Structure 1
């Protein structure tokens, strides 16, 4: 399987991770996935790219290393969001990013209970 190239593919990939508390949603007229009731990932309506949560410093480091993959759009400049160009979203990177973000977004008490049940 190659790099993820469109929202339906990213959506299916993210849901295939089997993480609880993830649901389809629509915000500002655009489909997205929410985790724990908060925006988790979506496709930008401004540029052909997926949007992942992250930190500004991380985004800038990724953009400096690979500006063809990690894009800039003024709409997202003030937020810790990472835009990854369509067709350049590597599955291993996306999985690690989604899992980390999902865990960071989880309510701590809920996460501790969930992890205890996984062991």
Structure 2
């Protein structure tokens, strides 16, 4: 289980995906992929933030309200907040890889998949 931003950042960077960089937005460190915020730790609640959709967040919160939480600051955004200490590494890795792919420009992703067999 992941308990801290440092642990999440270490996992994300260990995926060795291109176009990922450490950045600071609104005074808080985050990771960007393809120039867009990819994952970060909430300054409002002890939780990691992943991209998703409002519908997915609602489903996950209903299924596991101790793991998937919400702070009012994020209510209007399609973001998934996962409580510290309840972040499964396998889930986080799969989420980060999928989000990285979803954020990639189509031409880049086509070339990446051709070189790496679609992974």
* Superposition TM-score, scaled by structure 2 size: 0.97
Across the two proteins, how many residue pairs are aligned to each other? Answer: 117
Unaligned runs of 5+ in 1: none
Deviating above 4 A after TM superposition, structure 1's stretches of 4 or more consecutive aligned residues are none
Q: Aligned equivalents of 1:118 and 1:71: distance in 2?
A: 35
Once superposed, what is the RMSD of the aligned Cα atoms?
Answer: 0.5
Which secondary structure does the structure 1 equivalent of 2:109 belong to? helix
Q: What CA deviation, in whole Å up to 9, does each residue of 1:3-44 have, x standing for no partner? A: 000000000000001111100000000000000000000000
Unaligned runs of 5+ in 2: none
Q: What CA deviation, in whole Å up to 9, does each residue of 1:42-75 have, x standing for no partner? A: 0000000000000110010000001110011110
